[in-house]
Amino acid sequence: MNNNFPKDFIWGTSTAAYQIEGAVNEDGRSKSVWDVFCEQDGNIIDGSSGIVACDHYHRVDEDVALLKNAGIKNYRFSISWPRILPNGIGKVNPKGIKFYSNLVDKLLENNITPWITLYHWDLPQCLQQKGGWCNREILDWFSEYAHVVTDALGYRVNNWIILNEPSVVSFLGHGLGFHAPGLKGEDNYLASVHHQNLVIGRMYRELKAKNANWNIGSSYTLLDNPADASCKDNRASAYMDCFWNRNFFDPLMKGEYPSIMQDAFKPWVQDGDMELIKTDLDFVGVQHYNSIYAKDDFEKGLFGTFFGEKPKDIPTTDIGWGIMPQDFYHCLSDFNQRYGDKIPLVITENGCAYYDKPDDNGKVDDARRISFLESYISAVSDAINDGVNIKGYFVWSFMDNFEWSEGYAPRFGLVYVDYDNDCKRTPKSSYYWYRDFIKV
């Protein structure tokens, strides 16, 4: 496959703190909601947690060298809030700052541009005890945290992602209870959506006022609009579309919640909120893996809506997620039609999970990942050719890691991690393929 993308197209890879760092009890870090969620029986399929993860906390030099050897020029990672502010707010932990400061220095020394996600799901547990995302005070807590991080790193870092996938935090974490903090119900769902939307609007303005040169966005899921997919259940499809896409993009781009959700959100919306949320971010980060189908389910679902079955004839990755690059293309062009092309998109995550392991010669030949990436990157190229304003693409993930409730079985990495052998790293075939593909 030839790389016909513009010369200034941004190619990168992504990770997240809790999924790779480990060292959860070291250097003054306090517990996050994910530590606590993992401790509770039955929440994580294999009973695992991020206690060790990829041990990245102790292997920064090795991991930066791996990035460099793949010619990766942009690396997206997240900051662990409980490492920086173990009490959620208040006293700053200098050892937490030092860890990320050193990582940033190492990246820059190797000509790798950092893209920092301020929040990738690991809320300090002490703030959860005060209501977490359901408490409107989180706007102030988040602001304090974001200023501590940007004060410490902002003179060397230009690219900021405020939140990662608020849809997952709300739907899986506050609506259905499948992710931390394990809350359920419509009220928790609605409060967490609205407060995350407000945090994005407020932090964009505050950080931009601090440094107008920063490139500031936020990352969202972008899933195929299920009402257009083969799903026949239109009521449930319309709600699913709201849960994954419209409850976030409509307020951000149009300053209003989708009409079918407006009454439900009313109790949480105060004067001026929608004006604060409607924001011209510098870029919208979009992340895509799978298409989601919907069905009516008034017992298990939220607003009577639960996951439906995907059609049987769809090819899948090893974890059963559909391989549907045409749906990715459709999402991107649909986004353009709904919201226009004024704000550039950056694909801040896309990737696939396969179980490939080292063969007898120690080689991890993940040919299926290469063909997955080729087909999805082609979809990005087609979307650009059809006028969608896309500036970059980041593979999820740089290395295999802790896949939340699914534990360690799903392997999304370009680099294999041998969890039974001191987290030894082995670049897979896709690592070398990506290196050659993005070479300028």
Which residues of the shown chain bind ligand GCO in the complex (CB under 6 A)? Answer: 16, 19, 164-165, 168, 287, 289, 349, 396, 403, 412
State the catalytic residue, choosing from 137, 144, 165, 374.
165
Nearer to ligand GCO, 10 or 92 (CB): 10
In the complex, the smallest distance separating the C-beta of residue 234 from ligand GCO, rounded to whole angstroms, is 26
Nearer to ligand GCO, 252 or 399 (CB): 399
Nearer to ligand GCO, 163 or 388 (CB): 163
Give catalytic status of residue 137 as yes or no: no
In the complex, the smallest distance separating the C-beta of residue 120 from ligand GCO, rounded to whole angstroms, is 6
In the complex, the smallest distance separating the C-beta of residue 386 from ligand GCO, rounded to whole angstroms, is 25
Nearer to ligand GCO, 103 or 286 (CB): 286
In the complex, the smallest distance separating the C-beta of residue 176 from ligand GCO, rounded to whole angstroms, is 14
State the catalytic residue, choosing from 299, 349, 403, 406.
349
Nearer to ligand GCO, 257 or 396 (CB): 396
In the complex, the smallest distance separating the C-beta of residue 409 from ligand GCO, rounded to whole angstroms, is 12
In this structure, the strands spanning 415-418 and 424-427 are antiparallel
In the complex, the smallest distance separating the C-beta of residue 316 from ligand GCO, rounded to whole angstroms, is 14
Question: Cα separation of 211 and 386, whole Å?
Answer: 34
How big is the chain, counted in residues? Answer: 440
In the complex, the smallest distance separating the C-beta of residue 117 from ligand GCO, rounded to whole angstroms, is 9
Give catalytic status of residue 109 as yes or no: no
Question: Cα separation of 340 and 117, whole Å?
Answer: 25
Nearer to ligand GCO, 165 or 250 (CB): 165
Q: Is the dihedral of CA 241, 243, 244, 249 positive or negative?
A: positive
Nearer to ligand GCO, 204 or 396 (CB): 396
Residues belonging to the active site: 165, 349
